[in-house]
Amino acid sequence: MDKRLYRSRKERMIAGVCGGLAQYFEVDPVIVRIIALVLLFAGPGFPVYIILWLIIPNEPVAEK
């Protein structure tokens, strides 16, 4: 299976970046969101999030 990083459509709060990272690394999205919040207040979280939002593609829509 080809494992690719996408912004999540299912686990989306704002842009799906944290949900997509959680799916890629197979961890709970809450953990990724907590890490993102810590980085937001203690470091370069906001610019990194915006950059990831721009470069990570949306998850493809599953065909029925």
- pLDDT of 53 strictly over 60: yes
What is the C-alpha separation between 58 and 39, in angstroms, rounded? 23
What is the C-alpha separation between 23 and 62, in angstroms, rounded? 16
Domain segments of the chain as ranges? 1-57
47: Cβ contacts below 8 Å, ≥ 6 apart: none
pLDDT tens for 27-40 read 999 999 999 999 88
Q: How confident is the model at residue 55 (pLDDT cuts 50, 70, 90)?
A: very high
Question: What is this structure's pTM?
Answer: 0.81
pLDDT of residue 38: 92
Amino acid type, 36: A
